[in-house]
Structure 1
Amino acid sequence: MTEMAAFSNDTDVVRFTGSLSLAKIGDLPERLRAYDGKVSSVDLSGIERIDTVGAWLVHRFAAEHDAEITGLDADGEHLLKQVAAADQPVAMRPATKGTFTRMVGEIGDAVVTTGHTLYGLLGFLGATLIAFWQVATHPKRFRFNAVVQRFEVVGVNALAIVGLMSFLIGIVIAQQGAVQLQQFGAEFLTINLVGRITLRELGVLMTAIMVAGRSGSAFAAQIGTMKLTEEVDAMRTIGVSPMEALVLPRVLATVIMMPLLGMYASIVTIIGGGLLCWITLGIPPVTFIQRLREVVPITDLYVGLVKAPVFGLIIAVAGCFQGMLVESDAEQVGTRTTAAVVQAIFLVIVIDAFFAVFFTSIGWI
């Protein structure tokens, strides 16, 4: 039976005897709660055994009376320290923050995450450039077959969807432009609108968005799945660089195919716009082409051709980077694939805005 008694009224010492265990604890908790005397020290030298429940009772009693605990052996001291460390207040429901505070916190978290992602993306771009240099200095390590296979996946297999999208966009641009310009009797300027906006902006930009959604997501999913199945680790084990074997072929194929796809998309868009002008405005194809040659400067073509490989590099690097970040579970494959598409499209639009300002500043308008 566990007993509790005051050693004396002068020294204010409470001494425990017996077994401080769950089976023998008895009515000790009620007696401790009812004790209202002054306590300066708790003596445990007379106890036979102590378990977690007993240690917790003693700890809470000593803490309530601000008393010192003495008389325990090494094991008892360790148990009491563990109980004291675990005796922390737990918030059953987190404190709710104000709407403004929560909004600012979410914005801050998003900014930090964006900064870390951009930092990692720049580092991955550097690793890709290093891999390219190593392959350029050792041509035997170049995987020609892998690059050709990516040509087919990124370029040839995308011709149908890119062509259909571009044709419909050309029709929409020409139709909307014609409706607005007819109000001023300047419907012939629809040719200017279709030709310049297609070669300069929409042809390459819409192609980049389509490639990001189609090929960039595929890159992230493929490499992410290889990470989960430990194929990437196996490649490193046998001395094959994943950057050279997986990343570089995809980057090269996308950079090379983007100008070709952009040019193809621009031509199909102009065809779509010219067809609508022929049907709606009565402008024959010959007149449409002659007018295009007069109003569209060659610099518009150069602008599109300069932007296309940069967009391709961004799309491929973003897709491969997110794929390499996949860890632990299959859910991350979907998460990283979505992040790759969003990241690529966002960066493409941002870089396109910089290109617009740059080309205007050098007189390519």
Structure 2
Amino acid sequence: MTPQHDDTAGPGGTPNLLTVPLTESLLRGALDVERTAHGLLPHRLPARARAQFADAQLSLAESQPSGVRLVFRTRATTVELDTLRTKMAYVGAPERPDGVYDLVVDGRLVAQGSTGGGNVLLVDMASGSAETKPGEPGTVRFAGLPEGAKDVEIWLPYNEITQLVAVRADAPVEPRPARGAPVWLHHGSSISHGSNAASPTSTWPALAASLGGAELVNLGLGGGALLDPFTARAMRDAAADLLSVKIGINLVNADLMRLRAFTPAVHGFLDTIREGHPTAPLLVISPTFCPIHEDTPGPSAPDFENLSGGQLQFKATGSPAERSAGKLTLRVIREELARIVRQRAAGDPRLFLLDGRELYGEADFAELPLPDQLHPDAATHRRMGERFAALAFGPGGAFAGAGRPVGAE
């Protein structure tokens, strides 16, 4: 099966394909959907939350559709999707690869593609400024799908804002009924968002959900795992059977709070989630291994020395001596999260802790180092997803017995 896309002609459609009504019923993984002049824009934070912050980084992250997919049942052998993307670019850096669309048929990845055109968000990391250069919609086309009725998923790029403009197919399309799989709602940082994963189905949460037989709602927000109350309320109000929160690295990156504020903020975040999900399994995940911040506080800062060669890296700008003043490091956060979960678990037997170093630890760093000192590569995402599935969904795990094999009736 070969995906095809037309970078130059713009959307218009292959003759004789049926236009599929583009409705929210075809979407999974979004907490809100906005109707724009072009079509549908999935959001991963609801409108109420979006009204409570004015942070450009978080606005960008929540509107990048990590974990969001079109899900439908059809006999079609050709499917086309028109989208208007907004792609990131950085002044002085090589062009970033196009975002990837994953086509999944009956639970199996069978093809990938990308679109052309679209808007470009040009960021100058030295000055902090950004401008959007407008463009036209593009088309990704998947042909040669298997004959007969089948479940189809098109996973949207985790790193491109994606407005859905049109869907076409050579046979009728209908929303796929719910399979009865548990809904897993996960919140974390850019590592959960996708960072350098190869494609949307190979981010570590997407892979873990597939292996665990769960339906993913991914609130991994690049730079945005900051214990914000509106995120906790979004999790409280969302439908979910399983919940997890990965806390730590962004708080150090941003040098956002001190230990005095961190402890009650964690309690408040968990309290809010429990208001909507009093008995669901709730897993707290502490930070994965990151040498620059294990014992050195933030903030993090970009290192531009090799930017022109495509090797943007990050460095810690704090001092280990500042820990005595309450500045946070990853080691401090792990210790405090362990203490908080032990304290709360006495009255909350469905609260669990996973040390993030079990997903990616010091030995893993020696084998698979973080390319930019902060974010894992594609191989590490796969390792983390497989480990999480075994640790959380496997025997004795926080989500043990909750999942169902993908494709099970």
TM-score interval for Structure 1 and Structure 2 normalised by the shorter chain: under 0.3
Q: TM-score, normalised by structure 1?
A: 0.24
Larger radius of gyration: 1
Where is the helix percentage greater, Structure 1 or Structure 2? Answer: 1
Where is the strand percentage greater, Structure 1 or Structure 2? Answer: 2
